[in-house]
Amino acid sequence: MTPQRIAVLGATGSIGGSALDVIAQHPGRYRASVLSAHRNVDALAELCARFRPDLAIISDPALEGALAHKLAALGVDCMVAAGPVALEQAVAGALCDTVLAAVVGAAGLNSTLAAARSGKRLLLANKESAVCAGALLHAALREGGGALLPVDSEHNALFQCLPGGRPDHLATAGVRRLILTASGGPFRGRTRGELGHVTPAQACAHPNWVMGRKISVDSATLMNKGLEVIEACVLFGAQRAQVDVLVHPQSLVHALVEYVDGAVLAELGHPDMRTALAQALAWPERTSSGVPFLDLAARGKLEFEHPDTATFRCLDLAYQALAAGGDAPAILNAANEIAVEAFLAGSLPFLAIADLIEAVLNALPAESVRTVESLIHRDLTARAKARAMLARMCC
């Protein structure tokens, strides 16, 4: 068997690391042929020394020389490219068969769309691109004719519980509801009064999952679940009233599909992204992931409760953006990225994240999405608006 050549975009991140762990377990089956990072030259060079890709990409163009120098010092002989466009060229080029889109944030949009247009298999972790550009992503997938495999654990679980992975119509498939589970994050059960002074370190200390800092904060605010509700509507053609969220502190059940006859199918597994990544890499086959098998008797109780949306307002803001339609989800996402960045930098209190996002959504009524260029323009407008409001909030 010729190994499947994988482009790992965001190789130095949490998802990138989990994917490379699975890839390393199956050397005859997979090969990491393209690896990318944004600024982390040392980590990228070390991954290149270990995985020997054909191409290494550093998306900050100022760091191309530093990467070439480091690779030479490590004795690694691979091509080097730099800049955001290099990602798009690589996914469209001849060096890979499959693309793992694991860049964080809307920065992953163009490379995700390029991968969809290329017709290669697209493993989608970068939920922000589905949230911002659902219709454009579907158009690109139609143009390319390739398959999209969801990596986000809830959507990967839905894919496994739905007939054929992604039925043309949920209603015809007898699906009543899609239910996403949320761990509740590190602040589950806290009141607003107790959240006034929480720190970035506390927000990033997720009880079950080990993830990058941005998604960890999203998980603490419940915006991650909000983005995932939008992602579920985009990936599975669901209406917003068909997607519900349940808090499940053990994070063993990742999502459930409720059918019209009352049957509920769920996918269970340890909170370890290697299971979803192994499923998406091997589909329609199965391979081992390195994740231990689940011992339910040892884990004991599985608990479920409704989310506290009065304390964690970001989930409702995401539903509101869905209801507004057009590019409102992209505005929500852009405002959230600025708010999270400010919170991580210590310049915005935790509870003000939702306030800032709400203010930006109110200031920029939804417009219809026509082209990638107009969407990117709106994303930049929303970021500028969020920064201006932030400057006023912090004074």
Name the site residues for Mg ion (rule: CB under 5 A): 152-154
CB of residue 305 to ligand NDP, shortest distance in Å: 22
- DSSP for residue 108: G
What, of Mg ion, ligand NDP, none, does residue 112 touch, CB below 5 to 8 Å by kind? none
Least distance in Å: CB of 16 to Mg ion?
16
212 contacts ligand NDP (rule: CB under 6 A): yes
Interaction with ligand NDP in 141-180: which residues (CB under 6 A)? 152
Q: Buried b / exposed e across 156-189, counting CB within 10 Å, b at 16+?
A: bbbbbbbeebbeeebeebebebbbbbbbbbbbbe
Q: Is 13 annotated as a binding residue?
A: yes
How far apart are CB 379 and Mg ion at their closest, in Å? 22
3-state secondary structure of 229: helix
Torsion of CA 357, 16, 247, 187, to 10 degrees: -60
CB 283, min distance to ligand NDP, A: 17
- Side-chain half-sphere CA neighbours of 66 within 13 A: 14
Residue 188 engages ligand NDP in binding (rule: CB under 6 A):
no
User: Has 301 been labeled as part of a binding site?
Assistant: no
- Nearest-CB residue to ligand NDP? 13
64 phi and psi angles, rounded to 5 deg: -60, -45
Scanning 8-16, 230-238, 306-314, 376-384 for contacts with ligand NDP by CB under 6 A, the matching segment is 8-16
Contacts 24+ apart (CB under 8 A), 362-367: 363/389, 364/331, 365/324, 366/321, 366/324, 366/325, 366/326, 366/327, 366/328, 366/331, 367/326, 367/327
**Shortest distance in whole angstroms from residue 218 CB to Mg ion:** 9
- Contact set for ligand NDP, span 265-294 (CB under 6 A): 273
Q: What span, in angstroms and rounded, lies between the C-alpha atoms of 99 and 73?
A: 28
67 binds ligand NDP (CB under 6 A): no
Phi-psi region of 10 (alpha: psi -120 to 50; beta: other; left: phi over 0): left
**Least CB distance to ligand NDP at residue 38 (A):** 3
Asked if 34 and 96 count as a contact pair (C-beta separation under 8 A), the reply is: yes
Site for ligand NDP in 117-146 (CB under 6 A): 125-128
Determine if residue 185 is labeled as part of a ligand binding site. Answer: no
Residue 334 near residue 389, CB atoms below 8 Å: no
**By C-alpha distance, which of 183, 203, 194 is closest to 342?**
203
Which span (98-106, 238-246, 306-314, 328-336) binds ligand NDP, by CB under 6 A? Answer: 98-106
85 binds ligand NDP (CB under 6 A): no
Task: Report the alpha-carbon distance of residue 15 to residue 12 in Å, rounded.
Answer: 8
Interaction partner, residue 185 (ligand NDP, Mg ion, none; CB < 5-8 Å by kind)? none
Determine, following the binding rule CB under 6 A, whether residue 234 of this chain makes contact with ligand NDP: no
Per the document, the length of the chain is 395
User: Binding site residues, as ranges?
Assistant: 12-15, 39-40, 126-128, 152-154, 183, 206, 212, 219, 224-225, 228
Residues that bind ligand NDP (CB under 6 A): 10-16, 37-40, 59, 102-104, 107, 125-128, 152, 209, 211-212, 214-215, 273
Task: Provide the annotated binding site for Mn(2+).
Answer: 152, 154, 228
